[in-house]
Structure 1
Amino acid sequence: MSEAYASERVHVRAPGKLNLFFEVGGVQEDGYHDVASAYQAVSLYENVWASHSDDFTVTVSGAVDIDGVPADDRNLAVRAARLLAQRIGYRGGVHLDIVKSVPVAGGMGGGSADAAAALVACDALWRADLGTAELHKLAARLGADVPFALMGGTAVGTGRGDQLSPALAKGRFDWVVVPSEEGLSTPEVYAHLDTLRAQHDNGVDARVPEVDPAVLQALRAGDPVALAEHTRNDLQTAALSLRPGLRDVLEIGERAGALAGMVSGSGPTLAFLAGDPESALELQVMLSAAGLKALHVHGPVAGARVVA
């Protein structure tokens, strides 16, 4: 590849996500679960700047609590950059400057968004020009949510969640998200779900997860009321069991006029669906008045993109 530099610094923005529907199958022999998810990328973004360096380094800052975010080779964005360098035979390094807005360990895919942004940024910085399909292959090696952070929009994810098919969503959907001061470990939530299921022996292992067609119909129609009737997250029971206080917040949001409230992904961030932007603003104000941090976001939005 050419050693000529396309730029001295590349800025990429990548969105967080909500799982509008999330069905979890039984645990497999390798310890993972097959899932069926309806993802939507929302307007809460991670920003990553990539600049030339002799080594692979990262700094992390942001408006959210970043105490749990590693600033070394364990960082998923650094792993993404190393993976891309290995793929193209690049012998240099990169410095990544990550500014986070998506809650950490909050079930909104912030780390996955960082990794997607790093792939796009390094691809541009190093003039790799790998193309969308090749970047998606690399993304799938980094984690189930990374391909969707690249893709954005609205999509159905199957398998581990990384087998993506675009889904049509008309108009925009308005959400109010309430982050938690303390994150939840995704592996811990899945393990607790397995424990709860084993106690009830509900036969879930025999089912192949699939997204409820009514969810896809509501998205195609741009109908938040219909979507609210069919949202579902199989991880919610486990997340609420591990963090019982979240139930109170869900009740506050629903009493304040949300069409539906749910745990986002593995939690503990909560997402409340509103009927329109005005209703979302009213809901945000009421949740804030109750002493909660509340953010108004909307979707669908584009995936990881270079910012000019």
Structure 2
Amino acid sequence: MNRFAAPVTVRAAAKINLHLGVGAPREDGFHPLTTVYQAVGLCDDVTAHPDADLTVSVTTTDWVDAAAIPVDGANLAHRAAVLLGRHHDRDLTGRLEVEKAIPVAGGLAGGSADAAAALVALDRLHDLGTSDDALLALAAELGSDVPFALLGGTALGVGRGELVEPVADVGTWWWVIVPSRVGLSTPEVYRHFDRMFPNASPEPPDADQLLSALLTGQPVSLARTLHNDLQEPAIDLRPELGDLIDLGEAEGALRGMVSGSGPSVVFLCESADHARDLAGALMRTGQDVVLVANGAVAGAHVVPSHV
């Protein structure tokens, strides 16, 4: 590696599942999904610096628990580096600095965003020229949400969520996001789904109505079609999430929903002003972290490096 190469910073966004249809588990243990992802303006930055070794360091915002984030081989950004190197038959090195604003274990795919950002950052740092198709294939090996983190925007995901394609979306959507200080295990939520719905169909519910709503650009239309099959098991495990949804809707949200497997809760609003008003109202009820974000935003992309 050229030790004088310039660092590369890549930004990747959190995701919200506008639709998350879950089918009964397949023979391989994975649940078939039909999901519609949207990337929202709550982002992590990953900066790759030239270095003789492969290391990961993490800095966080006030609402992210740094202690919950591994900095060894268990970190998804580190795993992304190893996988990209294996693809090119070499050991990749670099100092990966992760600046996290996406909550951990929050149903917002923060780890997946970091993995996607690391793939792009190290590809650029080492001038590897990895094709988009190859990056997407590597992303799918890392996790179901990582390909979407590369793609961004609004997209339909099938399989276990890793097969993604962009969908038409004419709106600008405003969200209030309320993360939880205590994470919720995605595997446990899926196991609880299986306990609650032992006779679930092998075919997940389709997203046709939601895809049509995206074409209207109308928040009220989108609110009517938001859907999450994991919401009921998440609330059964953490009843306070249901109470939070009721509170946000009572304060004027068009619709509240658990994000993915939770425990973050998201509220769709009519406009930026409506989102800011709702955020203020929720903070006055005692919620200590309330965030406002718009969607859809870009997937993993290079930004000016912090030098």
Bin of the TM-score, shorter chain as denominator length:
over 0.9
For 1:241 and 1:193, the matched residues in 2 are separated by 10
For 2:235 and 2:201, the matched residues in 1 are separated by 22
Name the amino acid aligned to 2:292.
Answer: H
C-alpha distance 266-6 of structure 1, shift in aligned 2 (>3 A): farther
**Other-structure match for 1:274:** 269
Name the amino acid aligned to 2:35.
Answer: S
For 2:258 and 2:69, the matched residues in 1 are separated by 22
Q: 1:49 aligns with which of 47, 50, 60?
A: 47
For 1:79 and 1:154, the matched residues in 2 are separated by 26
Superposition pairs of residues 248-287 of structure 1, within 5 angstroms:
248-287=243-282
For 1:113 and 1:176, the matched residues in 2 are separated by 19
Secondary structure of 1:28's match?
coil
**Other-structure match for 2:31:** 33
Superposition pairs of residues 78-227 of structure 1, within 5 angstroms:
78-198=78-198, 203-206=199-202, 208-227=203-222
C-alpha distance 226-279 of structure 1, shift in aligned 2 (>3 A): same
In structure 2, runs of 5+ residues without a counterpart are none
Please give the root-mean-square deviation of Cα atoms over the aligned residues, in Å. Answer: 1.3
- Report if the CA contact (8 A) 1:5-1:126 is conserved: no
**Other-structure match for 1:22:** 20
- Report if the CA contact (8 A) 2:35-2:207 is conserved: no
- Report if the CA contact (8 A) 2:80-2:119 is conserved: yes
For 1:274 and 1:178, the matched residues in 2 are separated by 14
Offset, 1:7: 2.9
Name the amino acid aligned to 2:173.
Answer: F
Name the amino acid aligned to 2:188.
Answer: E
Offset, 1:4: 5.0
Please identify, of 48-57 and 267-276, the stretch whose mean Cα deviation from structure 2 is larger. 48-57
For 1:260 and 1:6, the matched residues in 2 are separated by 50
- Report if the CA contact (8 A) 1:170-1:220 is conserved: yes
Secondary structure of 1:53's match?
coil
Offset, 1:6: 8.4
- Report if the CA contact (8 A) 1:156-1:211 is conserved: no
- Report how many aligned residue pairs link the two structures: 301
- Normalising by structure 1, report the TM-score: 0.95
Residues 126-152 of structure 1 deviation map (CA, whole Å, 9 limit, x = unaligned): 000112111111101100000000000
Secondary structure of 1:204's match?
coil
Query: Does residue 244 of structure 1 match 2:242?
Result: no
In structure 1, runs of 5+ residues without a counterpart are none
For 2:2 and 2:58, the matched residues in 1 are separated by 28
Secondary structure of 2:56's match?
strand
Secondary structure of 1:48's match?
strand
**Other-structure match for 1:298:** 294
For 2:126 and 2:193, the matched residues in 1 are separated by 42
C-alpha distance 55-243 of structure 1, shift in aligned 2 (>3 A): same
**Other-structure match for 2:70:** 70
Secondary structure of 1:262's match?
strand
For 1:66 and 1:222, the matched residues in 2 are separated by 37
- Report if the CA contact (8 A) 1:53-1:92 is conserved: no
For 1:152 and 1:6, the matched residues in 2 are separated by 31
Offset, 1:81: 0.6
Secondary structure of 1:278's match?
helix
